[in-house]
């Protein structure tokens, strides 16, 4: 069933597809995928090539654009675009605290969630491609985790692609999650110190907030328990182009004087719960470390374990001295499943995923070395979320891949840079520059 409607300058068609939960068992259980087709209003009747967009994450549905913002306007000059809600996200069959109990207990839920990684997402794409394009290959645009999916696509089903563009999403082909986070924490520290250099007044503001949280039990209006560690994770904002400025504005209204004394302001608490809650994207927390798992080694809460190797991130110790309190970044920790009411019912499921030892490889270096699909990738210098050295090593493995290494943008360059980023990458992919 489809529905077609218009927005300024575009025609949208909502499309739904049925795919196997397990592609190795095509006659078994099925799930639903949702995707939104977008075409320029003045080209709606034309026969155009297709570009499928794979969102970052994991666990986020595709962008809900209005009109032709960011990269979309450039894409619509020549493509019909498919914005795919990857399995478990957006309007596709959801996977969250409300629906996962339908699977059974934590063990059954964990088994179910093993099918929500890049390999299953790519097989979903191949399952729906014939219905979308009539069997013709399409171009893929992979942002962040969508880039991880794209490298899996090149490894497992390159015949489905006539081109690929990757933005901030070239993964290591063989790094364990521990390796990923050992590389990440020094980057996070650099980003935080750069923020404090830009806004030195925030050093004291963060120290004051952490001091308050260490001495008070703060529960946000949605039931989220705001601990010092939870507050530190607001550093994830520093991975975006405007993140430092937005963090500064968040911190400047943290406190208010009340009849009972100084307290965290309602406005600050509202902003924090919007930033920290995983209610809208629980898969991000549940399978985040699993996207790095490729062998018998469990992830075992890698970000939490590796953080202990970087004692400068200990908020209480930092507060005992006179230096800055470091924030953290794109890391998932077991305490999140205690603090966040959207994750609490899934704590045991998360523990089982963290202890699994039956993960399978996601990438094929030999096949990538023989790649024939035109590929271009933007690598953001000192990207907070994806290690630059890992990305460059992978880029050298993929035959024919052309890179654009830039410090002009942060991880969200394809959004913040608008048409320029996609325009350059398409030209690189086509060997036009």
Q: Show the domains of the chain with their CATH numbers.
A: 3-174+363-429 (3.40.50.1820), 177-354 (no CATH)
What's the pTM value of the predicted model, to 2 decimals? 0.97
Tens of pLDDT, residues 88-107: 999 999 999 999 999 999 99
Query: DSSP 3-state assignment of 107?
Result: helix
H-helix segments, 117-175: 118-133, 145-156
Which pLDDT value is given to residue 179? 98
Is-catalytic flag, 245?
no
Which pLDDT value is given to residue 1? 61
Is-catalytic flag, 358?
yes
Q: Which is the catalytic residue, given 340, 390, 411, 412?
A: 411
Which pLDDT value is given to residue 323? 87
Is-catalytic flag, 280?
no
Q: Which is the catalytic residue, given 24, 25, 322, 358?
A: 358
DSSP 268-335: HHHHHHHHH--TT-HHHHHHTGGGG--SS---SSHHHHHHTT-GGG-HHHHHHSSSPPPP--S---TT
Which pLDDT value is given to residue 433? 79
Vertex 42: Cα angle to 38 and 47 (nearest 5) = 65
- Structural tokens at position 31: 């799930």
Residues of the chain below pLDDT 70: 1
Which pLDDT value is given to residue 329? 87
Q: Which is the catalytic residue, given 144, 172, 233, 391?
A: 144
Which pLDDT value is given to residue 211? 97
Which pLDDT value is given to residue 122? 98
Question: Which residues lie below 8 Å from residue 226, measured CB to CB, with a gap of 6+?
Answer: 213, 218, 219, 220, 264, 269, 272, 276, 339
């Amino acid at each position: 069933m489809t529905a077609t409607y218009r927005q300024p300058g575009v025609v949208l068609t909502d499309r739904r597809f049925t795919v196997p939960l397990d592609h190795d068992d095509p006659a078994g259980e099925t799930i639903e995928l949702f995707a939104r087709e977008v075409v320029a209003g003045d080209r709606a009747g034309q026969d155009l090539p297709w570009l499928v967009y794979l969102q970052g994450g994991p666990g986020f549905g595709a962008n809900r654009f209005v009109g032709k913002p960011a990269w979309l306007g450039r894409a619509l000059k020549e493509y019909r675009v498919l914005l795919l809600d990857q399995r478990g996200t957006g309007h596709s069959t959801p996977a969250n605290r409300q629906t996962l109990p339908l699977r059974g207990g934590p063990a059954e839920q964990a088994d179910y969630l093993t099918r929500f990684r890049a390999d299953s997402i790519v097989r979903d794409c191949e399952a729906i491609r014939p219905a979308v394009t009539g069997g013709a290959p399409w171009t893929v645009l992979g942002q962040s985790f969508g880039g991880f999916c794209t490298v899996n696509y090149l490894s497992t089903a390159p015949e489905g692609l006539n081109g690929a563009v990757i933005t901030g999403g070239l993964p290591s082909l063989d790094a364990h999650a521990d390796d990923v986070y050992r590389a990440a924490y020094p980057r996070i520290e650099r980003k935080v110190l750069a923020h404090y250099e830009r806004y030195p007044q925030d050093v004291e503001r963060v120290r004051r907030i952490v001091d308050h949280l260490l001495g008070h039990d703060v529960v946000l209006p949605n039931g989220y328990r705001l601990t010092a560690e939870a507050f530190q994770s607001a550093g994830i904002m520093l991975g975006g182009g405007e993140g430092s400025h937005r963090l500064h504005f968040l911190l400047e209204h943290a406190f208010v004087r009340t009849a009972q004394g100084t307290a965290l302001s309602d406005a600050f608490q509202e902003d924090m719960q919007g930033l920290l809650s995983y209610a809208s994207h629980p898969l991000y927390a549940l399978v985040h470390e699993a996207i790095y798992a490729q062998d018998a080694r469990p992830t075992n809460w890698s970000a939490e374990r590796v953080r202990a190797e970087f004692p400068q991130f200990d908020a209480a110790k930092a507060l005992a001295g006179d230096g800055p309190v470091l924030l953290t970044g794109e890391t998932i920790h077991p305490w999140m499943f205690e603090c966040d009411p959207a994750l609490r019912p899934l704590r045991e499921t998360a523990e089982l995923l963290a202890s699994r030892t039956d993960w399978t490889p996601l990438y094929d270096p030999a096949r990538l070395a023989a790649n024939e699909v035109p590929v271009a990738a933007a690598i953001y210098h000192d990207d907070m979320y994806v290690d630059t050295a890992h990305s460059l090593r992978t880029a050298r493995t993929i035959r024919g891949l052309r890179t654009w290494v830039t410090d002009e943008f942060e991880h969200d360059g394809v959004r913040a840079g608008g048409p320029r980023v996609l325009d350059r990458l398409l030209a690189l992919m086509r060997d036009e520059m």
